[in-house]
Structure 1
Amino acid sequence: MISNEQRAHDIAVALVQANAKDLEPLEAYHRYVNYLVPLLKEIDKDFPHGIREHLGQHDE
Structure 2
Amino acid sequence: MDTATTSTNGSTDFTFNVSGMTCASCVARVEKALKNVPGVTQASVNLATEKAQVKATG
TM-score range, shorter chain: 0.3 to 0.5
Q: Name whichever structure is richer in strand by fraction.
A: 2
Q: Name whichever structure is richer in helix by fraction.
A: 1
Find the structure with the greater CA-based Rg.
Answer: 1
User: What TM-score does the superposition give when structure 1 sets the normalisation length?
Assistant: 0.33
User: What TM-score does the superposition give when structure 2 sets the normalisation length?
Assistant: 0.34
